[in-house]
Structure 1
Amino acid sequence: MNPRNGLNFSGGPGALPESVLREVQQAIIEVPEVGLSVLGISHRSDWFAAVVTELENNIRSLLGLGDDYHVLLLQGGATQQYTMVPMSLLLPGGAPADYLDTGYWSAKVLPEARRQGPIRVVWSGQDNGFRRLPVDEELQFATTAPYLHYVSNETVEGLQFHRMLGSDEVVRVCDMSSDFLSRPIEANRFGLIYAHAQKNVGPAGVTVVVVRDELIKNAPEDLPGFLDYRSHARAHSNFNTPPVFAIYVVLLVTRWLMQEIGGLNAMDALNRTKAALLYDVLDSSESFYQGRAAVADRSLMNVAFNLSNTALEQRFIAEAEAAGFSGLKGHRAIGGLRASLYNAVTLEAVEKLASFMADFRHRQQR
């Protein structure tokens, strides 16, 4: 394997586990039980039907969900969900849905939702530059809202909710694209969760949607088939030609989570250790490294930080790349630096990055 694969701190697509990459390598040549490359296996084959069934069951098992939830493997990324959610859940002439505006990706959701019906922005972090998340006292949710929508982890700004929002009286809808299956959650208290795969659970091309059955039963009857959750539920994610390869890789990642990692509690403990190690480098640097997010809202997935000037940041990136580290440049929207610590990023890789950062600081401060 290319050693750079082990030092991939990209914000997305993110790293994949080495054992999964080895299985994928074999499957591209030949899936042993089929005798064909995974890239050429029919989406109508019995083998692929078994892949989908196992993956649905694995995700239910990891999240502790029963058969009253559908697990859908869709296309269009999280971006398509920005539209599908309000198309399905906003009621004509009804009360507005509640939305939170907590960062770059939350802001992307709002205009798409407004195209479908009324929404209300309960809180926005624009005035503080999206450097913190709201405390409970700042949030006044409407009990009449058809649903509450929020993003659990903002990858660009490095912000993450470490609590569940809202009440069980109103349907929770959450974009968990960048922290899905990274920690245990009370999934049965959400009406709908969506997550594109290319952070923690697989390659680009597939989006996981977990939706309560009763929630989609009352969706409008005139929805286009491709944008109707019921179409995909009835077809077990085979309504149209699905991304067979991407779905297969997600299956392998869920097996890795269950069999090698030991479930979401173990994954969470490892992710917390990785994040603590890197945040300690920031906090002990005497402001050489400047964390972007408020301490209480720091993301376990994305560590966003700055140096004192752009020239020094560019030097950091150049030296990091020469040392074999990949993906440390901040998002184009805000610049700076960012280390993404998704599930497949190993503790060893984070230790190497922490050591590099300490060494870089000492060399610059001589």
Structure 2
Amino acid sequence: MSKVLIVGAGGVGQVVAHKCAQVADVFSEIVLASRTESKCQAILQQITELAAADSARTLPKMSTAQVDADDVARMTALIQREKPDLVLNVALPYQDLPIMDACLATGVDYLDTANYEPPEEARFSYTWQWEYQQRFRDAGIMALLGSGFDPGVTNVFTAWAMKHHFDEIDTLDIIDCNAGDHGMPFATNFNPEINIREVTARGRYYQDGEWVETEPLSESRSYDFPDGIGSRKIYLMFHEELESLVKHFPSIKKARFWMTFSDNYLKHLEVLQNVGMTRIDPVEYQGQQVIPLQFLKAVLPDPASLGPLTKGRTCIGCHITGTKDGKPREYYIYNICSHEAAYQEVRSQAISYTTGVPAMIGAKMMLTGAWKGQGVFNMEEFDPDPFMEALNQHGLPWHEKFL
């Protein structure tokens, strides 16, 4: 029986709160905190209303709080007041370090779903958080980084493959397909600012001990997805899990990350880039400093509003080649998630669902002691088996096949 403080009340925070509330035997008390407390209150009301339809269901104790996660002193005060066993960070990536500082100050374990990113630069790296290793170890507490889907589940998929199916991994391709449609002219399925910064950054992949850079979205190919999704065009990007996976599995010779985008999305993004709306440096407008991308975020649809509109499925997985017992092997492990089913369960689309469920499972691993340690850890550093079992239990069943 544990108490968790969830920081962030966006689309992912909504899913995390719902999923934690479904496992009251682990999460006996939930505090949901955000800059805007009314968002937290709305989510808890939603959880209560959905639970009312199930007379056998017992909800944990739930409450809300207001906090500015950029402010270490305020975060520290909130943690000291609530005394959680774990802080589950699903706020913005810019806020990872302040929240980690507050956990250090209070001696409380930490979990997040995305690596730290400086506001002034679209740079994705675990470097800043790995630097906390000794401080967390000295404090006797644990930080689990990237407990979403990608990063997160994809790291665990790779660890599972290495444990059960390979002696050495030669190539790793992480492939993320959203085959859903929300019908909007242009909208992002998660935080627009983070989404656009990620997509417009230079691509990068790992090959033979070196990182190779590419122009944004300049490399693409077709990939045939399972379960009737069919052939889709995938684009090479950089994603942070590559950085940790090649560190922890040194046999990997080549590691890449791919994602699908619709022609409509790419057309709108190109126009927005051409007119300067994706810039992350401030411009002066009527005597005020405005960051164009942050203004664009304010006028685009809130990803949390896309749940009832989005139809179709996601498919995220790892395509791996390597050797087992001296023989070559090719293998694919993946999850299919329905946007409609996610909305039916937690009033969210599948993009938030596939991030929020693994965040809850990562927290469950820590709070039950299935995963434990002192210091800063990535997902692939622990035994994948209990996490893989929990994916099947909590709404993200996985499939594997040899090719």
Structure 1-normalised TM-score? Answer: 0.33
Q: Which has the higher helix share?
A: 1
Structure 2-normalised TM-score? Answer: 0.31
